[in-house]
Amino acid sequence: MTWMDEYDYGRTLGIGLDNHQLAHLAGALFLGLFAVSALRHARKAGGFYPAIWIAISLGLFAGTLIVVARGFPEELPDFLKPWTDPDRIARLVAVLALSGLSAILISAYWVRGGLAKFWNRAAGLAIAGLAVWLAVGWFGEEIPDEARPWTADRVIIRVVIVMGLLALAFAFWVRGNWSSAHVRWANRALVPVTLAIVIVLASRWFVTPSWAEFPRTSVEQATGILATIASATCLLIAGGAFFLREHPPVKKSPLKTITTESKLVPPAKSPSARLPIAILIDERGQPVLPRKE
């Protein structure tokens, strides 16, 4: 065992690395290849499973960075050295994993139906807000001073609410695409109301604090009038589509007509014996049957 420790594999191979560096290089390659394999599984997985594979891949990449930092501390760039702390990189992986999970839920590509997609997207937006909140708390010193007012907890919650209402409006618009026209337009009548709420909240929460001369009252009144007109138009279209819808033809059951002749005339019976064959005709034109002996 002492001979193995004293033997220099790097000098034998001619690559200029000692045994310590070779061991860390092998570990980094091992973890890096597994991380790439996890990303390939994330591309082929369906439903909710890509988020799990993305989290596994991020953890493996973080392990690769830690192993490289310990094996080659002098070769790392200066901007990567602060991120080699295990506690700091674990927090970064948690934020990135939550961001990947929120992206998968916001896409909701495996869900069919407007409201089902909305609930998945609402959960994705909530998780995205949680990721931003954690990132602000953990890495607040890296945030520029100009962006600090937008990283407050109240602002993050308001952004999540506005984005959730936009997702709800989109859900109302696409809901019922596979159903009849009047159901589809009845759902779309709720879209202008939802968008009007979004405009009102955005003007009060984001525009007014940064723009003192913003005509909020006029904008809110115009938004309410336009939303009412748009909703009424959608309801009129839904009503017209309801009354003009195609009615399926009524199938009538065929009636069996029974005539009196079919009741009176008995069915023909097959003769039990062969009929005699006429060989002569008398003066009245009647056949003369042969006599029976």
What would the pLDDT profile of 145-166 be if each residue is shown by its tens digit? 777 777 777 888 888 888 888 8
113 Ramachandran zone, left/alpha/beta (phi>0; psi -120 to 50): left
57-77 confidence digits (pLDDT tens): 888 888 888 888 887 777 777
Asked if residues 230 and 194 have their Cβ atoms less than 8 Å apart, the reply is no
Determine the pLDDT at residue 3.
Answer: 44
Q: What is the largest CA-CA distance in the chain?
A: 143
Query: Distance between CA atoms of 293 and 288, rounded to whole angstroms?
Result: 15
What's the pLDDT score for residue 228? 92
Question: Which among 106, 156, 104, 105 is positioned nearest to 135, based on CA atoms?
Answer: 156
Query: By the 8 A CB rule, do 134 and 92 touch?
Result: no
Instruction: Tell me which residue of 242, 235, 240, 241 sits closest to 187, measured CA to CA.
Output: 235
Q: What are phi and psi of 81, to 5 degrees?
A: -65, -40
Tens digit of each residue's pLDDT, the chain (293 residues): 444 455 555 555 555 566 677 777 888 888 889 888 888 888 887 777 888 888 898 888 888 888 888 877 777 777 777 777 888 888 888 888 888 888 888 887 777 766 777 888 888 888 888 888 888 888 777 777 777 777 777 888 888 888 888 888 888 887 766 667 777 888 888 889 999 999 999 888 888 887 778 888 888 899 999 999 999 998 898 888 777 766 566 565 555 554 544 455 555 555 555 555 555 677 776 777 766 65
What count of residues does the chain have?
A: 293
- Which helix (H) or strand (E) segment is 230 a member of? helix 216-243
Q: Which residue intervals of 14-113 are DSSP H helices?
A: 19-44, 49-71, 86-107
**Sign of torsion over alpha carbons 240, 244, 246, 248:** positive
Q: Closest by alpha carbon to 114, among 163, 171, 167, 176?
A: 171
3-state SS class at 287: strand
Distance (Å, whole) CA 56 – CA 277: 102
Please state, in angstroms and rounded to a whole number, the distance separating the CA atoms of residues 167 and 273.
90
